[in-house]
A and B are shown apart, each in its own frame.
Chain A
């Protein structure tokens, strides 16, 4: 990509874009953060590389929440286009690119779940507990499909209530109020179990923000 210096002077650029000039050896593989910062400058080849690295996880997490493959594909497509559109706002100081993209993907899936009609349907489902997949079923599907050994192991380190709360909220796409309803525990308990569970997962996986 060539850029005239005079042009650059007149263009407002966030510092992260300036920092994104390659600082490592030319043959080092580009990190995802680097790629997204190149996407921010309109680099479509970089976007293709980002797509190839993230399309499966974006689709996977959305499908986990929505189940329906056609809807999941629709939302995944929206999210990936959104990565292109908003790459200019990505700031690596606030977290890595994969967190940025996955947060967006999960949020979009949740938005879809909570759209007006869906909200109505879910209320019905919560009201008629028989139609809600039992927690064990959700957990089993999740756990048999977890591709990362570490995540499975770390989920296994949680107390049962922590694991149920985290799994139903994140993979099931339920609000903490619905999780409380499903597990028949007070709301305050769900909130603290969600937080404690995620903190324990964070420590187990060695996550740094």
Chain B
């Protein structure tokens, strides 16, 4: 699709008239295209006016139900701002310095920006961004690093049962191979992400449900991933307590 053709999708996007797959593609385009974001923003404000024009009385009983439900609903944590992220970074630098700290800084900035962009999207992304923010702002977060045998190094930042794994300087694999991330626990090994061939040299993955008795393992698998690891891990990281 040419640049011009992509640009004409702003209207369909603002009217929620894109099929889901095209919507996702356009979402990605939006991150690159400031002019499109501005236009989508204006056209969304326009469709909102179309929506407001068809107001009709909401069922009266709904009010009490909504109010009862919010009493039992936790609000999302706010997205961490750039300013606060810098403050948090300073703290990290006070911790043992070296490659771990600088790598963590890169992770924090990368994921933080990612979180900011994602937060504008729908729920699932909202929750993911929420999790990132929660991990990086958790005062009890812990981190661990390890070298990857085939090149590069990985870092795991853990807060409660959630963790973020990031690796940099990773050796790119042939197209028919993929990196895969595993949680190795007392009950066996489970996959937590088929990560692709790392042709950018970077890997980034959320991991849910980790315990400090677990280990995180990275293996090379056939494209599409495996049910269980089929090769010796190129990296094993104990989940820090």
Q: Which residues of A contact B (CB under 8 A)?
A: 12-15, 17, 40, 42, 44, 47-48, 51, 55-61, 63-64, 69, 73, 76-77, 80-82, 84-89, 94-96, 98-99, 102-103, 105-107, 110, 114, 142, 145-148, 151-152, 166, 169-171, 173-177, 179, 188, 190-199, 201-202, 205, 207-209
Measured between alpha carbons, how far is A14 from B59 in the docked complex, in Å?
34
- Whether B11 and A106, one on each chain, are in contact in the complex, defined by CB atoms closer than 8 angstroms, is no
* Contact-residue bracket for chain B: 35 or more
Kindly identify, within residues 118 to 176 of chain B, every residue whose CB is under 8 Å from any CB belonging to chain A.
119-120, 122-123, 126, 133, 137
Separation in Å of the A85 CB from the closest CB of chain B?
Answer: 6
Separation in Å of the B99 CB from the closest CB of chain A?
Answer: 27
Measured between alpha carbons, how far is A96 from B84 in the docked complex, in Å?
24
Chain B interface SS verdict (over half): helix
B50 contacts A by Cβ under 8 Å: yes
Q: List chain A residues, Cβ under 8 A from B30.
A: none
- Whether B81 and A81, one on each chain, are in contact in the complex, defined by CB atoms closer than 8 angstroms, is no
Whether A59 contacts B10 in the complex (CB less than 8 A), given A99-B48, A148-B49, comes out as no
Whether A169 contacts B45 in the complex (CB less than 8 A), given A84-B73, A86-B76, A147-B54, comes out as no
Measured between alpha carbons, how far is A95 from B37 in the docked complex, in Å?
11
Whether A88 contacts B8 in the complex (CB less than 8 A), given A56-B57, A147-B53, A207-B49, comes out as no
B19 contacts A by Cβ under 8 Å: yes
- Whether B8 and A95, one on each chain, are in contact in the complex, defined by CB atoms closer than 8 angstroms, is no
- Whether A60 and B69, one on each chain, are in contact in the complex, defined by CB atoms closer than 8 angstroms, is no
B97 contacts A by Cβ under 8 Å: no
Contacts A73-B59, A102-B52, A103-B47 known; list 12 others, CB within 8 Å. Answer: A40-B78, A44-B67, A56-B55, A59-B59, A77-B66, A88-B75, A148-B53, A152-B53, A176-B12, A191-B11, A198-B15, A202-B46
- Whether B51 and A169, one on each chain, are in contact in the complex, defined by CB atoms closer than 8 angstroms, is no
Q: List chain B residues, Cβ under 8 A from A81.
A: 66, 69-70, 73
B213 contacts A by Cβ under 8 Å: no
B35 contacts A by Cβ under 8 Å: no
B192 contacts A by Cβ under 8 Å: no
- Whether A192 and B8, one on each chain, are in contact in the complex, defined by CB atoms closer than 8 angstroms, is yes
Most buried by B among A42, A196, A205, A207: A207
Separation in Å of the A39 CB from the closest CB of chain B?
Answer: 8
Measured between alpha carbons, how far is A84 from B229 in the docked complex, in Å?
43
- Whether B126 and A89, one on each chain, are in contact in the complex, defined by CB atoms closer than 8 angstroms, is yes
Separation in Å of the B159 CB from the closest CB of chain A?
Answer: 13
